[in-house]
Amino acid sequence: MATVGASRPGGRTARTQIAVFEAALAELVEHGFDGLNVEGVALRAGVHKTTVYRRWGNKGELVAEALRDAADSSLTIPATGDVADDVRAICHAVLDTMRSPAGVAAVRALASGGDATSEIVAFIGDFFDDRVRQVGPVVARAVDRGQLPAGTDPGLLFRHAAAPMYYRTLIMRERLTTADADLAADAAVAAARAGVFVLPVGAPTPGDGEAT
């Protein structure tokens, strides 16, 4: 995801951007997306509201850029030699992301109206696409070792490992533990070993392109 982790401008512009992004995430956590407004962000950041409006055209663009700036674009890709342990480690990383300031803000955005904003939907889509690309080598190595069937789709495996954690956080409003992350990982690996995530060559991953 090229925009995540991009270098920041220097000097006063950098300080203003950092202050505005931090204020936007704080306002998002405190008030939710529907309750967030540019005036509140500007007040918290200590800048004039025209500065914010001039740089970011609307609050959806502002929040999406703040989330991109704060998001960690890389996973530490595990290589334990066992796919079950690898996927558990990935799910632990997902859980850590969900607990981070940016992760909490992203969850709040999705749960409070941000899912209807094209900029935030695009950020979430890019973020997960990047995660799927990073998980690909884990699946490839597992297939080479004979731990998963050939043709296992990394996108499906990752989605079905991560989705229960997001569902339980967003919909059920549960506070998850590492044991919950392990359960999600183990269920996804069991399904993968059974061939549930094997796709014919050239077939698109179910769900791709449906979220807009």
Domains of the chain: 11-70 (1.10.10.60), 83-193 (1.10.357.10)
Give the per-residue pLDDT at 42. Answer: 96
Give the per-residue pLDDT at 101. Answer: 74
Question: Which comes out higher in pLDDT, residue 105 or 15?
Answer: 15
Whole-angstrom Cα distance, residue 167 to residue 22? Answer: 26
Lowest mean pLDDT among 22-31, 69-78, 137-146: 69-78
DSSP-assigned beta bridge partners for residue 165: none
pLDDT band at 127 (very low <50, low <70, confident <90, very high): confident
Give the per-residue pLDDT at 206. Answer: 67
Q: Kindly list the distances between the CA atom of residue 98 and the CA atoms of 44, 73, 87, 148, in Å, as whole numbers in the listed order.
A: 24, 13, 16, 28
pLDDT band at 2 (very low <50, low <70, confident <90, very high): very low
Give the per-residue pLDDT at 153. Answer: 96
Give the per-residue pLDDT at 104. Answer: 78
The yes-or-no verdict on residue 7 having pLDDT over 70 is: no
- For the residues of the chain, what is the DSSP string, one character each? -TTTTPPPPPHHHHHHHHHHHHHHHHHHHHHHHHH--HHHHHHHHTS-HHHHHHH-SSHHHHHHHHHHHHS---------S-HHHHHHHHHHHHHHHHHSHHHHHHHHHHHTTGGG-HHHHHHHHHHHHHHHHHHHHHHHHHHHHTSS-TTB-HHHHHHHHHHHHHHHHHTS-----HHHHHHHHHHHHHHHHTTTTB--TTPPPTTTTT--
Lowest mean pLDDT among 75-84, 128-137, 200-209: 200-209
Give the per-residue pLDDT at 172. Answer: 86
Rounded to the nearest angstrom, the gap between the alpha carbon of residue 4 and the centroid of all alpha carbons in its chain is 11
The pTM of the whole model exceeds 0.85: no
DSSP-assigned beta bridge partners for residue 198: 152
pLDDT band at 61 (very low <50, low <70, confident <90, very high): very high
